[in-house]
Amino acid sequence: MSTIRRVTIIALAAASASLVFVPVAGAHARSHRARARSQRAQARSHGAHARSHRHYAGGGGQAPSSVGQSNRFSPEVIRTDRPPTGYAVTFRFWDPSATSVQIKGEWYFSNPAQTTTASSQGLLPFQWSPGDVPIAYPNSYEANWPVSAMTKDPRTGVWTYTTPLPSGVFNYGFFVNCSSSTQTGCTEIADPSNAPWNVRHGVTAGSTEPTSQVYVPSDPRFHTVNYWWQAPSRIHGSLVDETYNSPLSTSPMGKNYLAIYTPPGYDPNRSTPYPTLYLSHGGGGNEIDWSTQGVAGNILDNLIVTGQIPPMVVVMTNFNGFGGGCGTSSWETDYDQNLVGAVIPYVQSHYDVATDPSQRAFAGLSCGGDLAGTLLTNYTGEFDYFGLMSPAPNTVGTLSAAQQAAIKQVAVMVGGGWQDPLHPFALTDLSAVQSAGGEVFPDFINGGHEWYVWRILLRDFLTRVAFEPVVG
């Protein structure tokens, strides 16, 4: 039996395009095709561009889903026309009885030239300058982001916090009545007025997501990057959280969760089955991460609507509950076997998806990048496209002759942030795949171990690697 909770993504508007990717030798034909798609998409986007309003109903594209707090408490994105970014965001939280409310947001920044895999500047939003990127402080694979006190209006019981922000998507959450200066023992919660898409009327389908998202447009006068492809789209697909039978899962026992995206206009009876992308989150996450923190739904919507990628079904797995946990051999073995033996058959029996490996791709970040590596080496024939994003250590390893021969038949992207503390491990995996003689796409950008990087890598994987003809 499967438990299904279906939610349609509600969306807003997209703006103009600006794609970044590191092409490599041996992939010129694919790069030319992708560049052509990008140029066509840019033309479409400019033609459909909607003039920016002064105020935006905040959110990263999820449908309003809360009770008890009206949407008037959703984050308000305000066009200020002032430095440093031209935009500011006001966050609100209603709780008249609270004695303190704090907001944690992913808005530390650093100039790449002043950043290493072990250090960052810790610039706050009002200190932002063009070229600065979001990155934890101190730089780490931990979520070292600023926590700020909110101000209460005693008349209304509404707590507020306003900050300038550059363009893009930012994750944030609240701490209520937390007495610890380091938030030790306190629980971060999502914004009830901008709740994750899998929460309806206070009931969560699948795993719990403790953050919310806000999208900020770009004002070119302040040299912010246009991340239009991360914005909610007027034309959108759907997300559903499903529970499937999983004999290898121990938590929950005998079952586990999938978040599944279907594209705009999904037709369960289409004569040509849809390609399928399987995505994995990282350590501490769950199946909801990519569709909330990673705004995968928005990214897919925009790339599909602008014709840069084909409509596809995307299956976001939950790797918790298998083996000994991230990095252990039992976890890798159990997850891989579960994916091939339980998840793929479940998806193929419930959705109109292609069964040929040439129409399947797998990508993951951090610990999920580890899984992408073990699938690449041990289940190469199940997918034609693999994406290793900021992979955890010991991912690919020494390859046998048979593994090298198999890898030559698939396309592999290895990428991450130049300043990511795990960057050396990504380089090791890249070297191993290159030595095997496979079709490899390095994709490294300025950034650390965070969603700012992984959103860009997902866009790159979809537009440059997945479902393109593999050059053997």
Task: Give 202-228 pLDDT, tens digit per residue.
Answer: 999 999 999 999 999 999 999 999 999
Per CATH, the homologous superfamily of domain 3-46+229-464 is Alpha/Beta hydrolase fold, catalytic domain (3.40.50.1820)
Q: What is the model's pLDDT at position 472?
A: 52
Question: Residue 398 has what pLDDT?
Answer: 87
Q: Cα separation of 346 and 334, whole Å?
A: 17
| pLDDT value of residue 468 | 81
| Cβ atoms < 10 Å from Cβ of 70 | 12
Q: pLDDT digit string (tens) for 90-117?
A: 999 999 999 999 999 999 999 999 999 9
pLDDT score recorded for residue 249: 97
Q: How many CA atoms lie within 13 A of 115 on its CB side?
A: 30
Looking at the chain, the domain(s) classified CATH 2.60.40.10 span: 57-107+145-216
pTM score, two decimals?
0.88
Structure tokens at 173: 């959450």
What integer pLDDT is reported at residue 72 of this predicted model? 77
Taking 70 as the pLDDT cut, the residues of the chain under it are 1-71, 469-472
Q: How far apart are CA 129 and CA 110, in angstroms?
A: 9
CATH 3.40.50.1820 domain position(s) in the chain: 3-46+229-464
Q: What is the pLDDT of residue 395?
A: 77
CATH of domain 57-107+145-216: 2.60.40.10
Strands 168-176 and 101-105: antiparallel
pLDDT (0 to 100) of residue 387: 98
CB 209 within 8 A of CB 316: no
- Which pLDDT belongs to residue 469? 64
Give residue 19's pLDDT.
27
